[in-house]
Amino acid sequence: MIRDVTRLKETPSQTAGPYVHIGCTPNFCDIGGVYPHDLGSKLITGDVTGERITIKGTVFDGTGTPLKDALIEIWQADSAGLYNSVNETRGTADANFTGWGRSPGDMDTGEFTFETVKPGAVPFRDGRMMAPHVTFWIVARGINLGLHTRMYFEDEAEANAADPILSKIEHQNRVPTLMARREEDGVYRFDIHLQGADETIFFDV
Amino acid sequence: MRDRAWHPPALTPLYKTSVARSPQRAPLSFATTISEETSPVFGNDVLGPLDNDLIHNFAKDGAGAIGPRIVVYGRVVDEANRPVPNTLIEVWQANAGGRYRHKKEGYLAPLDPNFGGCGRCITDENGWYEFRTVQPGPYPWPNGPNDWRPAHIHFSIFGHAFAQRLISQLYFEGDPMIWQCPIVGTIPTPEAIETLVAKLDMGATIPMDARAYRFDIVLRGKRQTLFENRMEGL
């Protein structure tokens, strides 16, 4: 069998730096008139199916100080568990839901907010269902390579217990760092700790 | 899998901000799932006509940004050297004097009233991208007592899988500041650093208008193919 043996090295990562907003959310940092709106500011673009939820949270450094210059992106399935992506082969995702959001956080507090829908379950590689989750990607000044993590829902205890990834984690005492806390109906809080005793689990995927 | 010995590690004390912002525990590994093998789609309908022209996209009518005019172009491929078509690239940079248009930036070099500093484009069906801008200047930053960033342009690339998501920086061939910089120095090997250095390409210049720099980008992973009814892992 003939195989293509070309192997290039991935372009190495560099920090997004303190001015990531100029490129990714220019309207947020007062560079108006270039783009009509900031990409990723809305996940819901029309009459969406599913339970509408709000995700709020803050990213903290190792001293407990909130990051006010981070950029947070989320990627998730729609309420039926389908991704709005060219690589989705199982069906067609809700046309009124992009699945992707981007937030620079509040300028004074650093708190990020996403108006979204609760994702449906999606299958693991072997066909078992993963619990509903939202993928997070965090970049900022001081972060050399974007950090991947997942947010699960604490009120999905049964699905979480059967989740193929959560159940495989050796240090089960760290699993709660991936759980969003239900603050009130439809509002979930997911704080991210970059470092220290309550450090969030990050994934090398 | 990412080669984490090729990328900068999280903790790089000479880049001071990384000290309190680096996880201390090892990242956990698992084989990618559909959550990592899918990614948002951006079509050309999101682009305005000047989105890839930083000389003009913030300028008043008839004006343009001040500075050395350049074209930056290149190809986005995966690790198997196959093109990554139709993927969004976002760029941002300081002006020709090294000043960013951002309220938290206090460098004494002036803003250019005709330069915003952001641009974006989508690769074509063969993975090629191009934008026009002015070459950014170096600028000082509060890290060590006398640290200066080399001239650089920030890049954000999506790819076709969320696990390919990447932010990096382009540097310019021949810039002596590259080898002084603590942020460049977070990358462990000179070989990896060299891949971030755009090469002057006189063959692609526009005579009497703009010089050209070529910067190719490699995203992780083989292009995904259907295999036994599921995506092949990255």
Please tell me the predicted confidence (pLDDT) of residue B42.
94
**CB count in 10 Å sphere of residue A47:** 8
How far is Cα A74 from Cα B203, in angstroms, rounded to an integer? 41
Q: Helix, strand, or coil here: A61?
A: coil
Mutation test of the interface with chain A: which of B3, B35, B77, choosing the one with the most A Cβ atoms within 10 A? B35
Q: Helix, strand, or coil here: A7?
A: coil
| Contacts with B165 from chain A: Cβ below 8 Å | 73, 137, 146
- Domains of chain A, CATH where assigned: 20-193 (2.60.130.10)
Residue B130 touches partner A, C-beta closer than 8 Å: no
Mean pLDDT of chain A: 96
The beta-carbon neighbor of B187 closest among A12, A98, A147 is A12
How many A/B residue pairs have CB atoms within 8 Å? 271
Yes or no, beta carbons of A143 and B231 under 8 Å apart: no
Return residues 107-166 of A near B (CB < 8 Å): 122-125, 130, 133, 135, 137, 139-148, 150, 165
Residue that is written with structure tokens 């390409």 in the block: B201
Catalytic residue among B2, B101, B154, B165: B154
Q: Helix, strand, or coil here: B162?
A: helix
Residue B105 touches partner A, C-beta closer than 8 Å: yes
Query: pLDDT digit string (tens) for A2-18?
Result: 565 678 999 999 999 99
How far is Cα B80 from Cα A93, in angstroms, rounded to an integer? 30
Q: Helix, strand, or coil here: B26?
A: coil
Angle at alpha carbon of residue A32, lines to A31 and A37, rounded to 5°? 110
Yes or no, beta carbons of B80 and A85 under 8 Å apart: no
Residue B44 touches partner A, C-beta closer than 8 Å: no
Do the beta carbons of residue B35 and residue A122 sit within 8 Å?
yes
How far is Cα A70 from Cα A141, in angstroms, rounded to an integer? 7
How far is Cα A125 from Cα A190, in angstroms, rounded to an integer? 26
Q: How far apart are the first and last CA of chain B?
A: 7
Find the residue in A nearest to B30 (Cα).
Answer: A205
Could you say which DSSP state residue A167 is in?
G
Q: How far is CA A88 from CA B12, B200, B230, B231, in A?
A: 38, 40, 10, 9
Per-residue pLDDT of chain B in tens (234 residues, 90 and over written 9): 899 999 999 999 999 999 999 999 999 999 899 999 999 999 999 999 999 999 999 999 889 999 999 999 999 999 999 999 999 999 999 999 999 999 888 899 999 999 999 999 999 999 999 999 999 999 999 999 999 999 999 999 999 999 999 999 999 999 999 999 999 999 999 999 999 999 999 999 999 999 999 999 999 986 555 444 445 566
Residue A9 touches partner B, C-beta closer than 8 Å: yes
Q: Helix, strand, or coil here: B172?
A: strand
Residue A201 touches partner B, C-beta closer than 8 Å: yes
Query: pLDDT digit string (tens) for A68-84?
Result: 999 999 999 999 999 99
Yes or no, beta carbons of B8 and A12 under 8 Å apart: yes
Do the beta carbons of residue A140 and residue A147 sit within 8 Å?
no
- Tell me which amino acid residue A194 is: L
Return residues 185-224 of B near A (CB < 8 Å): 186-187, 191-193, 195-196, 217-220, 224
How large is the average pLDDT for residues A97-113? 97
Angle at alpha carbon of residue B95, lines to B91 and B96, rounded to 5°? 125
Q: Domain-by-domain residue ranges, chain B?
A: 40-219
Q: How far is CA B88 from CA A75, B52, B76, B123, in A?
A: 16, 11, 10, 7
Cα B10 vs. chain centroid, distance in angstroms? 19
| Contacts with B111 from chain A: Cβ below 8 Å | none
Please tell me the predicted confidence (pLDDT) of residue B223.
53
Write b or e for each residue in B20-29: b if 16 or more Cβ atoms lie within 10 A of its Cβ, otherwise e.
bbbbeeebbe
Q: How far is CA A81 from CA A92, B93, B113, B161, B187, in A?
A: 10, 38, 47, 17, 38
Q: What is the ipTM of this complex?
A: 0.96
Please tell me the predicted confidence (pLDDT) of residue A2.
59
Query: Among A1-10, A109-118, A152-161, B41-50, which stretch is predicted with the lowest mean pLDDT?
Result: A1-10
Residue B168 touches partner A, C-beta closer than 8 Å: yes
| Contacts with A139 from chain B: Cβ below 8 Å | 167
Mutation test of the interface with chain B: which of A14, A74, A107, choosing the one with the most B Cβ atoms within 10 A? A14
- Is B25 annotated as catalytic? no
Do the beta carbons of residue A144 and residue B169 sit within 8 Å?
no
Transcribe A179-204 into DSSP letters.
Answer: EEEEEETTEEE--EE-SSTTPPP-EE
B111 token code pair: 């803003």
Of 2.60.130.10, 3.90.1490.10, 3.40.50.300, 2.160.20.10, which CATH number belongs to B40-219?
A: 2.60.130.10
Do the beta carbons of residue B218 and residue B47 sit within 8 Å?
no
Residue B95 touches partner A, C-beta closer than 8 Å: no
- Is B154 annotated as catalytic? yes
